[in-house]
Amino acid sequence: MAQVGKPLCDIDVLGEIDPGDETLLGTTSEQAGSPTTPQQPQKAAEQQQSQQNGGINPPNAPKAASNSKHSSLATPAVRGLLKDLNINISDVTGTGKDGRVLKEDVKNHTASPASTSIPSSSPSPALSHSRTTQAETTLPLTPIQFQMFKTMTRSLSIPHFLYTDEVNVTALSSLRYQLNTYPSQIDQPKLSYLPFIVKALSLALDTFPILNARIDTDTDSSHPHLVLRSAHNIGIAMDTPQGLIVPNIKNVKTLSILSIASEINRLQSLALASKLTPTDLTGGTITVSNIGSIGGTYVAPILLSTEVAILGVGKKKIVPAFDEEGNVVKRQAMNFSWSADHRVVDGATVARCAEVLRGFVEQPETMAVRLR
């Protein structure tokens, strides 16, 4: 039954009220509709008194929102906003019906100076550390570093063609083990993989002499020439305490594998003692970089300006493979990475030479019929 001076319905445009709040609201609404509770005249008196005091309630006057039974009621949207802002609903003065908290009340509460949190004046851990000055020390290049700087700077003008392939060294590993354990080899140097690879490269150069050539631009810079070289002076890139150096083994074409191993050991000893002669360091025609002795599977070696090809040898690894019957077997493999001067050497030539070299390494017995 409608009461005189009471609203017919209550429409909440901000959202629906939680079921628990709705039960509480229904109970208090019945109490508000009782003729013995004259709330409207009381509200009018409180508003008139507030206007007389300039809109400010007396200090000893309790807030209506705090005393109201509806002050803790809010729509789900408002409750979600309070949760996001980490605000207690009891701290917000509600201006809605019976002191309910509205979104505008939450916004006004966050904008008030009393609710604004004062940031901590203590410095953050990242800023609390004292800043240290970067120390820089200038060092002159060593003679080897200076020579490497000039050589590699010249190499930057050469367009490199890169090519890599996996080579099966299982048979070579078995042959190497047999030769190193053979009784007659007691007084001979231990054979690593490198002497076999150097000899196989020399045999492959007999078929592809262009990879042993150099480009002559000094005679006529407008019309460069390709100079073929008969001797295979194969350089070996060596890591020394002073830096990278590349001595070369002279005339590999005429040397046996044991002679190549002895020459590598001689050059290595002289390099570590810084006693290499200019003859050891000049006249190279092609280079082998055995980076796999330190580590690494693939490499993109840099050409020397006096050469048109270089070979990088990766670390030996064990890989699964299929035999002729389809069974999975263990295989020892290395990756050979080539770089060639693409101004005069095309990719097909590099690939064909790499295949010839791979044939010699994978079947080392085939080198025997080509040795001189």
Report the DSSP beta bridge partners of residue 331. 319
Asked if residue 240 lies in contact with residue 258, where contact means CB atoms within 8 angstroms, the answer is: no
Q: Give me the pLDDT at residue 336, please.
A: 96
The separation between the first and the last C-alpha atoms of the chain, rounded to the nearest angstrom, is: 123
pLDDT digits (tens, 9 = 90+) for 221-274: 678 899 999 999 999 999 888 888 999 999 999 999 999 999 999 999 999 998
The whole-angstrom separation of Cα 300 and Cα 237 is 14
- Give the contacts of 218 (CB within 8 A, at least 6 positions apart): none
Look at residues 231, 179, 161, 196 and name the one whose alpha carbon lies nearest to residue 359.
196
HSE-CB of 177 using CA atoms within 13 angstroms: 6
Query: What residues act catalytically?
Result: 342, 346
What SS3 string covers 260-309? HHHHHHHHHHHHHCCCCCHHHHCCCCEEEECHHHCCCCCCCCCCCCCCCE
CA angle 322, 323, 327 (to 5 degrees): 65
pLDDT computed for residue 87 by the predictor: 87
Lookup result for tokens 């008030």: 112
**Rounded average pLDDT per 10-residue block, the chain, 372 residues:** 61 51 46 46 50 49 46 77 84 81 84 58 55 88 88 90 95 92 74 95 96 88 88 94 91 94 94 92 95 87 94 94 90 95 95 96 88 71
Q: What is the pLDDT of residue 64?
A: 42
Residue whose token pair is 């309790």: 62
Model pLDDT, residue 283: 94
- pLDDT for 303 equals 94
pLDDT value of residue 228 = 95
CA–CA gap between residue 202 and residue 204 (Å, rounded):
5
The CA distance from 372 to 365, in Å, is 14
* pTM exceeds cut of 0.75: no
Q: Which two tokens stand for residue 68?
A: 């109201």
Q: Write down the pLDDT at residue 304.
A: 92
What pLDDT shows up at residue 268? 94
> Per residue in 119-155, pLDDT tens?
555 555 555 556 788 899 999 988 888 888 998 898 8
